[in-house]
Structure 1
Amino acid sequence: MLSNEEEARAYCARFTDAAGLARLERLAELLLAENRVQNLIARNSEEFLWVRHIADSAQLLAHVSRGTSPWLDLGTGAGPPGLVIAAMCPDLTCVLVESRKKRAEWLARAAAELGLPNCRVEARKLESVESFSAAAISARAFAPLPKLLDLSSRFSTRDTVWLLPKGRSAGQEVQDLPARTAQMFHVEHSVTDPQAGILVGKGRPEQA
């Protein structure tokens, strides 16, 4: 379990190179600056930005094969996890969906500042995004699980990996799904929060 910012930086270094770490440092600066303009993250989490937001996002890479692309992130908002993944793995095609105008504009500015030409921001509701086959789908606080799967299943294939950070309710949310969909998922422990889990799944939900 990661307990401080130094440990979080070291953890992120497992999944990227020196240039990737430099992009993460710059992303942290941009995020803190923008948080003075609009409320992106809780102010009391700023002190633990690397643990709570950056390493918390980076841990998703432990559950996919290197080079998994394209990556679809739902409701990216402040940046985690999609923009963090894009900063760490700039060769991946990352599509960040964010319907709130100010947040979408911030994401686009940050991606440009970080030099991420393969990162695309879709400033619209997911329902309006053109379908494509995503190799990975992630979401953090986007929607209740049944609704999330219902809205995003058209982007999935039988090989799509789902990476959905959840709180202590992770196991219960899976149990509440229809049986055949529930079988897609299992819960992995978060490395940043002993109370949290990550729903990891593979395939295309038949029913949400």
Structure 2
Amino acid sequence: MISDEVQARKWVADLGICDDKAIERLKILIEELALENARQNLVSASSLSAVWQRHIADSAQLLTHVSRETRSWLDLGTGAGFPGLVAAILQPYCEVHLVESRKRRVEWLERITSQLEIKNICIHGKRLELIDSFKADAISARAFAALDKLLSLSARFSTSSTVWLLPKGRSAQHELDELKGWRHTFHVERSLTDPDAGVIVGALLGRKGRAS
């Protein structure tokens, strides 16, 4: 369990996919996030004192559930850019699609992506319903929507081999237990950054009663 900033920074550095350039980008991201947070509420102000644990490592832990062959990643309702920005920094070979409809947050994402010279990000500044379908190898969402609604909105981007990575906090097991009408292989993994939180991980196989 990652319990403080020192452990969080070490854990990220020890992932095996985080070189010096990635670390430098993460440091700049943290600095710029604090500045931007004074202008708009991207993340809770209290979380900035534990940003490596609450946002960087919390995002990076999702990468332990995907293969190095992952080439496309869809992050829904990315907000400040978590986990999508972190995934793009740590996986420069993977095209990461960030979906965010709020104008000021889109502007932040465009600005920080340009500043960090991240070439493998595609920012979709509109509602998910307006984005043309494509198939993603991984789909993530942090605080985007309740599980059933999330799947209804985004199942068209998934195949049976897509890995879903859904941090759900304390509600993870409850939301999964309440999920009806879908065929899936979802299970809850304990979060490495919060002992009370869970991450729903697995594949979506389609709606019950329909061919996959």
Q: Classify the TM-score, shorter chain.
A: over 0.9
Q: Decide whether the 8 Å contact of 2:100 with 2:127 is kept in 1.
A: yes
What TM-score, normalized to structure 1?
A: 0.95
Q: Which moved more, 1:148-157 or 1:163-172?
A: 163-172
Tell me the residue number matched to 2:84.
82
1:180 CA drift (Å): 4.5
Tell me the residue number matched to 2:139.
137
Q: Decide whether the 8 Å contact of 1:23 with 1:88 is kept in 2.
A: no
Tell me the residue number matched to 2:5.
5
Residues 1-208 of structure 1: pairs in structure 2 closer than 5 A: 1-13=1-13, 14=15, 15-178=17-180, 180-181=182-183, 183-206=184-207
Q: Decide whether the 8 Å contact of 2:59 with 2:87 is kept in 1.
A: yes
1:204 CA drift (Å): 3.6
What TM-score, normalized to structure 2?
A: 0.94
Letter in 2 for 1:193: D
1:67 CA drift (Å): 3.4
Report sequence identity in percent: 53
Q: Decide whether the 8 Å contact of 1:165 with 1:198 is kept in 2.
A: yes
State the alpha-carbon separation in 2 of the partners of residues 9 and 128 from structure 1.
Answer: 37
Q: Decide whether the 8 Å contact of 2:182 with 2:205 is kept in 1.
A: no
State the alpha-carbon separation in 2 of the partners of residues 75 and 56 from structure 1.
Answer: 16
Q: Decide whether the 8 Å contact of 1:20 with 1:89 is kept in 2.
A: no
Letter in 2 for 1:11: W
State the secondary structure of the residue aligned to 2:206: coil
Flag structure 1 segments of 5+ consecutive residues without an equivalent: none
C-alpha distance after superposition, 1:54-92 (max 9, x if no partner) = 100000000010131210000000111001111111221
Q: Which moved more, 1:16-25 or 1:68-77?
A: 16-25
State the secondary structure of the residue aligned to 1:205: strand
Q: Decide whether the 8 Å contact of 2:181 with 2:207 is kept in 1.
A: no
Structure 1's consecutive aligned runs of 4 or more residues displaced over 3 angstroms after TM superposition are none
Flag structure 2 segments of 5+ consecutive residues without an equivalent: none
1:117 CA drift (Å): 1.3
State the alpha-carbon separation in 1 of the partners of residues 58 and 72 from structure 2.
Answer: 20
C-alpha distance after superposition, 1:24-68 (max 9, x if no partner) = 111111111110110001111110000001100000000010131
C-alpha distance after superposition, 1:125-149 (max 9, x if no partner) = 0000111000000000000110000
Letter in 2 for 1:73: D
Q: Decide whether the 8 Å contact of 1:170 with 1:199 is kept in 2.
A: yes
Letter in 1 for 2:11: Y
Letter in 1 for 2:124: E
Letter in 2 for 1:196: A
